[in-house]
Structure 1
C-alpha cells in the first residue's frame, strides 16, 4: 500500500494543515505545562500533603517520589494509548491524552490537604500523578505521529518541530507561571492558597484544549489504512518488536540524547550552577528562561532544516554544536561568570537538535505500527535514561565539575554514531514516503 500519493507528497501547506499544527502545538504546550508545574511547587506541596511532624528530608523524598511516579507511569500509559491509536485511530487517543492530563491537574488544584483528609491526601496526589504520567506518555508520541501524518511529506520536519517547540514551550510556561506566582504573593499566601492557581489554570486550559481538538480530523494515513483494511492484525507492540527491532533500537538510542540534553542542560543546570559556582537562583532562572526560549525557537527552525537537508546532516552538525555549547557553558561559567546568560542561551539553542529524534522515529516505522513503535521506544528509553541521568550526573559532578558536560558529550557521541551509520547505509531519513520499510 502506498502511504501517500504523489500529489500529497508535493503539495504545499494549506490552511487546514496550519490549523492542525497550531491546535496540536497548543495542546502539547498546555499538557507539558500541566505535567511540569508540580515540580515548581514541590516544596509547598510537601508541607501541605504530608504530616506536619515529618522530617523535611523525608517530606522531600516522598514529594519527589510522587513526582517520579508520573515518569514511571509514562511507558504503560503510552503503550496502551498507542495500541488503540494504531487500531481505532490517532485522533481519539490524541484527545484522550489531554483529558487524562487536564482532569487530575484540576483535581490537584481543588484537593483538600493533609490537615483536612489525613493520609488520603498523599494517596490521591499519587493517583493523580500516575494519571498525568499515563497522559504524557501518549501525548508526545501521539502528537508527533498525528501531525506527521497530516502534513505533506516535504513538511514533516516542520510539523515535528512545531510540536517539539510546543512541548518545550510548556516547560517555559510553567517556569514563568511559578515565577509570577512567587513574585505576586508572599510565601505565606502561596502556602495558604496561591499555589492552587497554576493547577486550576492548567486544568481549565487543558479542558479547553481537549474541546478544540475535537475539531481536528483523523489523519489521512490512518483513514487510508482503514479503507484498505491494512490495520495491524495482531498486537501492534508485538509486531513492532518482532519485525522492526532495528527501528526500535535506533529510536531508543536517539531518545537517549534527547533525555541527556533536556534533563542535564535544561532541567539540572540551574541547580548545578548554583552549587558549583555560587550563582543566585534569580541569575540561573533568567539564564534558564533564555535557554528554554531559544530551545523552543530552534526546535521549530530545525524542522525547516530537516525538510531541506535531512536528518543525517542536521543531526551530525547539531550534535557537534550541542557538545561544544555544553562544554562552553560549564567551562565559561567558571572562568567568566558574567557570561552565564549568553552561554546558557547558546546551549539552549543547540538543544534544538532534539527535534531530529521525533523526525527519525516517525520515519522509522510503517504506518500500521507507527504510533506503537514511536511510543514504546520513546517512553521506555525516557523512563530508563531519564531515571538514571540525574543520579549519574550527581555522581559525576562530585568527581569533576565538568561531569555534566562529559555525560552530555558521551551520549551525544552515541547519537552521532547512530546518525553517521544511517548515512553510510545510504538511508534517507528525510523521506517519509519510504516509511513502509521495516527499519531505517
Structure 2
C-alpha cells in the first residue's frame, strides 16, 4: 500500500519548499472558495429567488420544496462526478482533474446568470435550471477530494491536519461570499430590480472568480504521493472496485456513515436556516443573510485551529468530539430560534455553525484521506463524500421542511438531526488505527 512520502527526486531547498507550499495553499483555498461559492450560491437563490422566478405558479410551500428539489439534484449527481473524476484523478493526477472541474463549474454557474425565467419561456426555464444544476453537481463531485489531496499530499508530515483544513476554509469562505453578495445586491436594488436582474450579477461574478482560481491551480505541482504512485507503477486499474474490495470496504462504509452528521449539519445551518428564518420566523432577508455570512466567517477563522488540534490529538478524536457537540446543540439552537429574536438567532448560528461546525469540519479532510492508500485515495474520498452527500446533505432541507410541516414545529426535525449525530459518532468511533494510512 502506498502512503504519503516525499518525492524521490533531488531534495528541494528550503526556499523552494516554502514557495511550493504557498502555491499549494493558494490553489487549494482559492479553488475551493470559488467552487463552493458557485455551488451554494444556488442554495441561497433557491431560498430567495428561484422559488418565485422558476416555480411561480406553486404555493409558497410547494415552490420552496421544488426549488430545494433542484438543489438536491446537484447532490444526486455528485457521486457520478466523484466516480468519474476520482478515476481520472487516480489515473492521470490531481492537478489536471482539478482544473477541469473548475472550468465546468464556472461555466454552469455563469450560464445560470443568463437563464430566462418561467414568465419568459415557460416550463423550459426550470428544465434548463435543472440541467445546469446537474452540471454543477457533476463538477463538484470531483472537486472536494482533489482539493483535500492537493493540500494533504503536499503537507509536511507534522502539519497534515492544518493543511487538510485549508480546503474546508474554502467552503466557509465560498458560503460567506455567496450570502454576502446576495445581501449586498438586495440592499443596492429594490425587490423588483433584484428579482428582475440583480440576482444575476452574483452568478456572472463567477466568471471572474473562476479565471483567478484556474490560473493559480495551473501553477501548482502534482502531489508527491501521486508522483510516487507513478514512479512505482502502482496505479489502480479500477479504483472504484478497489474502494469496495475486502480490507478497504469497512473503511468506506464507516466513512459514508460518519459523514451523515456533518452533511446534515451544514445544510441545516447554511441552507435550511435561511428559509426557516425568513418564512417561519418572519425575519427580514438581509439580516438573515448577514448572520449566515458572519457565522461562516467565524467558521473560516476557526478551521485552521481545528487543523492544529488534529495534528496534536488526531483527526478521529477531534471529528468525534465535534460531531457529538453538534448533536447536543441541536435542541438548544432551535429553542433560541423559537424566541423570534434576531440577536438570539445570530448567537445560536455563530455558536453552532461558526464554532461547533468548524471543530469537526476542519478534521474531516485529513480523516477521510487517511482511510485509503494513495493509488485509490482520490476515488475513495470522492465516494465517501459525494455518495453520502445524497442522503446526508442534499435532501436535508426537504426533510426538515416536511417534518416541520407535519409536526407544526421544529422538534421532530431536531430529533432527526440528533439521530444523524449519533450515527456519525458511532461510525467514527469504529474506525481502527490499523485501517488508517496517514
1:239 to 239, 242, 258: 242
Q: Residue 219 of structure 2 aligns to a residue in which SS?
A: coil
- Following superposition, the deviation at residue 16 of structure 1 comes to 1.4
1:326 to 330, 338, 344: 330
1:41-440 equivalent positions in 2, closer than 5 A:
41-42=45-46, 44-45=49-50, 48=53, 54-55=57-58, 62-113=66-117, 120-232=124-236, 234-243=237-246, 244-273=248-277, 279-334=283-338, 337=341, 338-348=343-353, 349-352=355-358, 353-397=360-404, 398-399=406-407, 401-422=410-431, 425-427=432-434, 434-435=437-438
- Following superposition, the deviation at residue 364 of structure 1 comes to 0.3
Distance verdict in 2 for CA 1:421–1:3, change over 3 Å: closer
- Following superposition, the deviation at residue 390 of structure 1 comes to 3.0
User: Which moved further from structure 2: 400-409 or 346-355?
Assistant: 400-409
Q: Equivalent residue for 1:438? A: none
Q: 1: CA distance between counterparts of 2:336 and 2:51? A: 36
TM-score for both structures, normalised by structure 1: 0.87
User: Which moved further from structure 2: 292-301 or 386-395?
Assistant: 386-395
Contact kept, 8 Å, 1:323 with 1:405, in 2: the verdict is no
User: Which moved further from structure 2: 288-297 or 393-402?
Assistant: 393-402
User: Which moved further from structure 2: 286-295 or 210-219?
Assistant: 286-295
Q: 1: CA distance between counterparts of 2:399 and 2:109? A: 30
TM-score for both structures, normalised by structure 2: 0.87
- Following superposition, the deviation at residue 119 of structure 1 comes to 5.1
1:295-334 deviations in Å (ceiling 9; x for gaps): 2222222011101110233123323332333333223344
Relative contact order (alpha carbons < 8 A, sep ≥ 6): 1 or 2 greater? 2
Q: Equivalent residue for 2:3? A: 3
Residue ranges of structure 2 left out of the alignment (5+ in a row): none
Q: 2: CA distance between counterparts of 1:67 and 1:340? A: 24
Contact kept, 8 Å, 1:157 with 1:359, in 2: the verdict is yes
Contact kept, 8 Å, 1:260 with 1:411, in 2: the verdict is yes
Contact kept, 8 Å, 1:254 with 1:415, in 2: the verdict is yes
